[in-house]
Structure 1
Amino acid sequence: MTPVEYLDSLGFLDEKVLAAHCIWVEDDEIDLLAKRKVGVSHCMESNLKLASGFAPVVTMLMAGIKVTFGTDGAASNNDLNILSEMSTTAKVHKALSNNPTVLDAKTVLLMATKWSAEVLGLGDKIGSIEKGKIADIVTINLKKPHLTPMYDVYSHIVYAAMASDVDTVMVNGKVVVNNSKFCNGDEEKILAKAKEWEGKINS
């Protein structure tokens, strides 16, 4: 009995479960995850760094599983950069599939936004810009040389945008990053506190 089958035998698998990694799942397990409406958090860059293997993301998507993104921890994915995860995931799975059309940019952006909210049970509150939803919004400054000219906004966000291009971050309607600067606290004090913990961890 595989781990997926065992969890199902316990009645554990349902739409409230977000399964991390799912690297070595077989086709029958993928069908079971899809049947139980389990979401999957794909941590591409962590899996690459640890040489853990490649999750069958394309197969899972074709089965109807909502695959989303995770960064895992700083020990196995140093920058925790979701934009980098999006780009790397799309490119790696195109190469693995030998098919440049899989994981198109629009699908990748859905994985990072709307589907992520849905697998967390928050699809009616966040994940897309719609009337009545919470204003969790990120804006990107497109007036950059590497983002000019722009032919397709989805492709630009997935393949060209970088974390340093983020201009504004709004959480529940409150601006916490403005003009690429943190405005919800003293950044210098926060960095100094992080340095303190660096010393404690290393000692």
Structure 2
Amino acid sequence: MLDPTVMDAKTAMRMATINGAKALGMGHRVGSLETGKKADIILIGLNKPHLTPMYNAWSHMVYAAGGADVDTVIINGKVVMENRRLLTIAEEDVMNEVRKIAVGVKKSMNM
């Protein structure tokens, strides 16, 4: 369980974004939306019971929102997921391939 008394949500978000990028020596390329940096961002669908009502956007993103709430993903300025649909890969094809691989793994483990 996340403890909101340890640090404020804005500090936690900065640790996950710009400060994380700086710690990895990548702060000049990623970690914030600025001219010349890679434009990576997620859009969160907020019309959900666990995200209602919203009093503080920082707290919502850190303590309430999760991966299942991501609606749109933009990587380096290119939309790769929109309305929860992947646009750059055939999701069903990938899942079928993984299932085939799983069969081979099971056989190799005598399962």
Q: TM-score range by the shorter chain?
A: 0.7 to 0.9
Q: Is the counterpart of residue 132 in structure 1 residue 39 in structure 2? A: no
* CA positional deviation for 1:194: 1.4
Q: Give 1:103 deviation, angstroms.
A: 2.7
Counterpart check, 1:151 vs 2:55 = yes
Q: Which residue identity lines up with residue 154 of structure 1 in the other structure?
A: W
CA offset at residue 151 of structure 1?
Answer: 0.5
Task: Note if 1:164 corresponds to 2:73.
Answer: no
In 1: Cα distance, 2:105 partner to 2:20 partner:
32
Change in CA separation of 1:201 and 1:108 when aligned onto 2, cut-off 3 Å:
farther
Aligned length: 107
Pick aligned residue for 2:9 from 102, 105, 108: 105
Unaligned runs of 5+ in 1: 1-87, 95-99
Deviation string 1:158-198 (CA, Å, 9 cap, x unpaired) is 11112111011111111111111111011100111111222
Instruction: Quote the sequence identity (%).
Output: 48
TM-score calculated relative to the size of structure 2: 0.85
Matches within 5 A, 1:74-113: 88=1, 91=2, 94=3, 101-113=5-17
Query: Judging changes above 3 Å, is the alpha-carbon distance between structure 1 residues 119 and 201 closer, same or farther for their aligned structure 2 residues?
Result: farther
TM-score, with length taken from structure 1: 0.49
Aligned equivalents of 2:51, 2:59: Cα separation in 1: 10
Looking at structure 1, the residues matched to 69 and 8 of structure 2 have their Cα atoms a distance apart, in angstroms, of 21
Q: Distance in 1 between matches of 2:57 and 2:51?
A: 10
For structure 2, the 5+ residue unaligned runs are none
Among 91, 103, 107, the alignment partner of 1:187 is 91
Cα RMSD for the two superposed structures: 1.5
**Structure having greater relative contact order (Cα 8 Å, sep ≥ 6):** 2
Q: Deviating runs (4+, > 2 A) in structure 1?
A: 200-203
> Which of 177-186 and 129-138 deviates more?
129-138
Contact persistence 1:164–1:180 (CA under 8 A): no
Q: What letter matches 1:194 in structure 2?
A: V
Q: Give 1:111 shift.
A: 2.0
